Amino acid sequence: MDHFNYQQNRLFAEQCALTDIATEFGTPCYVYSRATIERHYQAFASAAAAHPQSLVCYAVKANSNLAILNLLARLGSGFDIVSGGELRRVIAAGGDAKKVVFSGVAKTAEEMRFALQLGIKCFNVESVAELERLQQVASSLNIKAPVSIRVNPDIDAKTHPYISTGLKANKFGIDILLAGDIYRQAARYSHLDVVGVDCHIGSQLTETQPFLEALEKLLTLIDALASDGIMLKHIDIGGGLGVTYDNETPPSPADYISKVVARLTAYPQLELIMEPGRAIMANAGVLLTKVEFLKPGQEKNFAIVDAAMNDLIRPALYSAWQAIVPVERDSAKTAATYDIVGPVCETGDFLGKDRELAIAQGDLLAVRSAGAYGFTMSSNYNSRPRAAEVLVDGDKLHLIRQREQWQDLWRGEQVITD
């Protein structure tokens, strides 16, 4: 459930009309609902609270705006990061380093050093080579690095191939069949402290079954390690819970997490860590855009809007479907079928295809479910300044990121003089 609803044919974010937001901040513009974000976070946190110890580590990559990270930090959230940049954002937003888990297949020595000095909760290690690098960096600082091994459980998450991560053919994690030996090796390193196990099998999963299969495999590994005297303190089940973009029916966070908690009753000593990103943010945001031109054609009608693939790349990159709705519904307008396309010079620059809409030039459209992997994946392609971001809180509006200025486009560039 989210807080984007029509009131007398005008689309609102909480108590703010999107038309007013467009007037005040211009388009394209990302709009987020604070109440929705908080509701989604609490859905995970409260379901997990049935287990003796738990921590939601929000996946920063989904939406890393400082204001969003700060809201989540204030609710007690931890963070799943994948770069030194994300770690710096978490700290800048007032997040607690002690609640940070660090994922990613290619952590540099500098990133490890920085994270160790801040005292993060855990490194989610993805290869033997990474274990060795971490041991070296940690020993040079004379700090013990808390380590979890990201195991690859070889489970088909039944999602888009680009966002499936738990199969043997994917680059992520360590084959679960080899993990036991690697844990034993890690336990012998002087500056590693083996504390947990983690996995992340993919994103936008719409069934609980693959998650529960992965959980079973992790528990089998935990039992085997315990019989060798390696006692893990936490289990991190990753992120990946899907959302409704169209007519998908994913389990709710409460359904999913309560099943995990039920299975973990035999393991009260294990802290449960989750890394949701999309499920917290996707339906808490829309991308607001204006129709520049309608261009009727023999085969296709195009609605050319001022947002493009550089603002929201999911449709172009994954053929993702996101709802596109008029901000003001007007029954006097006649409907037609449009491809919603942007100004970028690529045929792949579309936000939606074959959408039935009753619209006119100058109308505003909202691309729904754009709060996750929207702004964070945006770019300056075609020298387009990146969009503004606005957070709605009841009847209050906060500009949480200014629209980029022209000079931002070439910041750091230099012409040569000879």
Annotated binding site for pyridoxal 5'-phosphate: 240, 275-278, 373
Q: Is 7 exposed, middle or buried (0-12, 13-18, 19+ CB in 10 A)?
A: exposed
What residues contact 274, with CB distance under 8 A and at least 6 apart? Answer: 44, 48, 54, 55, 56, 57, 236, 237, 238, 239, 257
For residues 19 and 206, which CB has a smaller minimum distance to ligand LLP in the complex?
Answer: 206
For residues 200 and 355, which CB has a smaller minimum distance to ligand LLP in the complex?
Answer: 200
**Whole-number minimum distance, CB 248 to ligand LLP, in Å?**
13
The correct pick among 250, 276, 315, 326 for binding ligand LLP (CB under 6 A) is 276
The residue count for binding ligand LLP (CB under 6 A) is 20
Binding-residue pattern over the window 189 to 218 for ligand LLP, x denoting contact by CB under 6 A: -----------x--xx--------------
**Whole-number minimum distance, CB 318 to ligand LLP, in Å?**
6
CA distance 116 to 13: 40
Binding-residue pattern over the window 305 to 324 for ligand LLP, x denoting contact by CB under 6 A: ---------x---x------
Strand intervals (E) in 210-343: 234-236, 271-274, 285-295, 302-305, 324-326, 336-341
Per CB under 6 A, contacts with ligand LLP among 150-169 are 163
**Whole-number minimum distance, CB 322 to ligand LLP, in Å?**
10
Q: Which amino acid is at 311?
A: D
Instruction: Check 16, 29, 199, 345 and give the catalytic one.
Output: 345
Q: Does 275 bind ligand LLP (CB under 6 A)?
A: yes
Stretch that binds ligand LLP, among 15-23, 276-284, 332-340, 401-409 (CB under 6 A): 276-284
**Whole-number minimum distance, CB 58 to ligand LLP, in Å?**
9
What residues contact 168, with CB distance under 8 A and at least 6 apart? Answer: 152, 154, 175
Does 345 participate in catalysis according to the annotation? Answer: yes
Residue with tokens 């929207």: 374
**Whole-number minimum distance, CB 163 to ligand LLP, in Å?**
5
Stretch that binds ligand LLP, among 29-37, 270-278, 341-349, 395-403 (CB under 6 A): 270-278
Q: Does 373 bind ligand LLP (CB under 6 A)?
A: yes
Q: Over the range 98-124, which residues count as b (16 or more CB within 10 Å of their CB) and which as e?
A: ebbbbbbeebeeebbbbbbeeebbbbb
Long-range CB contacts for residues 173-181, cutoff 8 Å, separation at least 24: 173/126, 173/149, 173/199, 173/200, 174/125, 174/126, 174/127, 174/128, 174/149, 174/150, 175/151, 176/151, 176/152, 176/217, 176/221, 179/149, 179/151, 179/221, 180/221, 180/224, 180/225, 180/228
| Binding region for substrate | 278, 314, 318, 346, 373
Q: Does 68 bind ligand LLP (CB under 6 A)?
A: no
Residues marked active site are found at 345
**Which residue ranges make up the site for ligand LLP (CB under 6 A)?**
59, 62, 80, 103, 163, 200, 203-204, 238-241, 275-279, 314, 318, 373
